[in-house]
């Protein structure tokens, strides 16, 4: 695996990251950016091959020609190892998400969600997962949630967090490996009896069912495509939390859902990402 990095201004880094995200399929396995020091931002692009690296360079060069990408080879195993060693606990409202190494030092009254870094997306550190947890916190302040649907569950972190507040959750994940990890995580968090994990598209499991809260933390195109299925799955008075989209993509997703009678209650920005919290009128 190759790691491409560059330092630049916020405008340059965001332009490059946004352009990489727009490509489908993208040559990058993962793209992240963060503020390294005041006024200076760092872009990190992980690619599997040199050819993918050349493609990523071309995309970044077109979007932000001022950026200078530096390349180095890393071991594939380093991805998980670095995550396990370096990830601190993430706090989002009443929730704290972390691996066992970080949860040991958590002594507050927050709801602890034990998630180790792994192949499945969702440790709480990504802006979209954090935004969904903050969205969940807001909903719980208004009402009790009994039935939850998590579409694109990844590690199962959102379904598990909801289950730890007393809800029964249905977690749907198209990737069988990620679904297996979500089941393990549910057991480790002692909520296996409240979290049902389905590997596959799950359409027949949600047909004619309605939920107090629906999560869909996926990508912009699937979010728009799934609108006709997700909106009917929200019970009257219930909430729909959408994420996995860049701030620049939010207007298209808002249009797809606002036209279906939902009310946009909140937008939660985090770095380059946006989470949308919707309510269906009672």
CATH number at residue 165: 3.40.50.150
Residue 82 lies in a domain: no
40: tokens are 């200076």
Q: Can the peptide bond before residue 25 be classed as cis, meaning omega within 30 degrees of 0? A: yes
pLDDT in tens, 121-136: 555 556 788 999 999 9
Tell me the CATH number at 33.
3.30.70.100
Residue 115 lies in a domain: no
**Same structural domain for residues 24 and 127?**
no
Burial of 92 (0-12, 13-18, 19+ CB in 10 A): buried
Number of folded domains that form the chain:
2
**Angle 50-63/10-22 helices, nearest 10 degrees?**
130
C-alpha–C-alpha distance, residues 256 and 115, integer Å:
32
**Same structural domain for residues 155 and 272?**
yes
Residue-number span of the structural domain to which 252 is assigned:
121-279
pTM (2 decimals)?
Answer: 0.69
**Same structural domain for residues 125 and 265?**
yes
pLDDT in tens, 89-132: 788 889 988 877 777 777 778 898 988 765 445 555 567 889 99
**Same structural domain for residues 136 and 58?**
no
- Taking CA 30 as the corner, what is the angle to CA 23 and CA 136, rounded to the nearest 5 degrees? 100
**Same structural domain for residues 67 and 129?**
no
């Amino acid at each position: 695996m190759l790691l491409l990095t560059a330092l630049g201004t916020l405008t340059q880094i965001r332009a490059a990251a946004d352009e990489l995200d727009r490509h489908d399929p993208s040559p990058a396995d993962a793209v992240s950016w963060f503020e390294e020091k005041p006024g200076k931002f760092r872009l990190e692009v992980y690619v599997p091959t040199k050819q993918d690296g050349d493609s990523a360079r071309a995309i970044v060069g077109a979007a932000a020609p001022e950026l200078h990408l530096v390349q180095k080879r890393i071991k594939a195993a380093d991805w998980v190892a670095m995550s396990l060693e370096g990830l601190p606990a993430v706090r989002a409202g009443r929730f704290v998400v972390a691996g066992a190494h970080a949860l040991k030092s958590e002594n507050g009254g927050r709801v602890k969600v034990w998630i180790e870094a792994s192949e499945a997306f969702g440790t709480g550190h990504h802006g979209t997962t954090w935004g969904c947890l903050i969205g969940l916190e807001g909903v719980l302040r208004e009402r009790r949630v009994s039935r939850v649907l998590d579409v694109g569950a990844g590690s199962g972190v959102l379904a598990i967090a909801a289950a730890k507040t007393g809800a029964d959750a249905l977690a749907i994940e198209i990737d069988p490996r990620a679904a297996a990890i979500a089941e393990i995580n549910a057991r480790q968090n002692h909520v296996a009896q409240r979290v049902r994990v389905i590997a596959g598209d799950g359409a027949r499991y949600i047909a004619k069912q309605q939920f107090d809260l629906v999560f869909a933390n996926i990508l912009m195109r699937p979010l728009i495509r799934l609108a006709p299925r997700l909106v009917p799955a929200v019970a009257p008075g219930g909430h729909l939390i959408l994420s996995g989209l860049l701030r620049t993509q939010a207007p298209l997703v808002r249009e797809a859902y606002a036209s279906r009678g939902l009310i946009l209650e909140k937008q939660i920005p985090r770095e380059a990402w946006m989470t949308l919290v919707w309510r269906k009128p009672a």
